[in-house]
Amino acid sequence: MNDEAVVESVPKSAGKRKIRGVKRTAFSMPYLALSIVFVVVPLFIMLYYAFTGLNGHFTFSNFTHFFSRPNIMKVVGRSFFVALITTLICFLLAYPLALALSSSMLNKKAILVMLFVLPMWINSLLRTYAMKIVLHILNISNAWVAVTVGMVYDFFPFMLLPLYSVLSGMDKNVTEAAYDLGATPITTLFKVTLPLSLPGIVSGVLMVFMPTVSTFAISDILGDTSTYMFGNVIDQWFRNSGGWHIGSAYSLILLALIAITVVIANKVSKGHAEVGGVL
């Protein structure tokens, strides 16, 4: 039977199956409604404030204010650098742990994963204040070290979960085949396991990098004036009664920078996947 016959034999209603008389697409309606209310509508409100002045007239002055502000690019670069360092540390800590948990023969390894994810159940501000107390007890006074440790502690589970999900679902026969062909554990890790887990790596990197580059609470609580980041700049404008317009413009600029980072990460991921498929 050729491919055309197979396609014709599939009922046209196969993609519109019902569950207890309800179309499967109907189950996505609540999520769609929440996305419109809490994502789309606030985004349009932010667009309105970004492109209007205090008098309500259309203007680009809110964006020109960004480029005319002294040292603003230094603050943006500092924010991206801290986010990059935080993401790198989270990856170096989470990948070996996820690899060990996914390959563990323990029947209770789900409980071990839960122990590392458990801090996510506690409010982020509470965890940050708790970390401030810990750092004070350890006599760590360097503001940058404190901010970095706080960010790694806060966002570490967001790196661990996607890595563990991908590694635990990986076909173990692939690594066993590599061992049978004479590959060493290190060669198997870098030539087989790491490329196959790339989707989880990209997902974890984005889940850590994006909130880190825009955060302001952690640097406020654990840092000082030297750790002033772009998120703090935006927060400062929104705290002022007349600064919502400039704060919205700054938020859109940050959103555009993050979007560019996501596009680059996706292209790198696809490039590595294509190379891996060729090899």
In sequence order, which residues have a C-beta less than 8 Å from that of residue 151 and are 6 or more positions away?
82, 86, 212, 215, 218
**pLDDT tens digits, one per residue of 155-193:** 999 999 899 889 988 888 888 888 888 888 899 888 889
Q: What per-residue confidence (pLDDT) applies to 248?
A: 94
Phi (first) and psi of residue 23, to 5 degrees: -65, 145
Query: Residue 109: what pLDDT?
Result: 67
Ranges under pLDDT 50 in the chain: 1-10, 12-15, 278-279
Distances (CA, A) of 273 to 51, 116, 199, 212: 40, 29, 9, 26
In this prediction, residue 54 carries a pLDDT of: 86
Specify the pLDDT at position 17: 63
Token pair of 113, please?
């994963």
Helices (H), the chain: 3-9, 29-35, 41-50, 61-68, 72-102, 109-117, 124-137, 143-168, 172-180, 185-188, 194-196, 198-214, 217-222, 230-239, 244-278
The pLDDT value recorded for residue 20 is 61
The per-residue pLDDT for 172 is 82
Contacts 24+ apart (CB under 8 A), 232-235: 233/72, 233/75
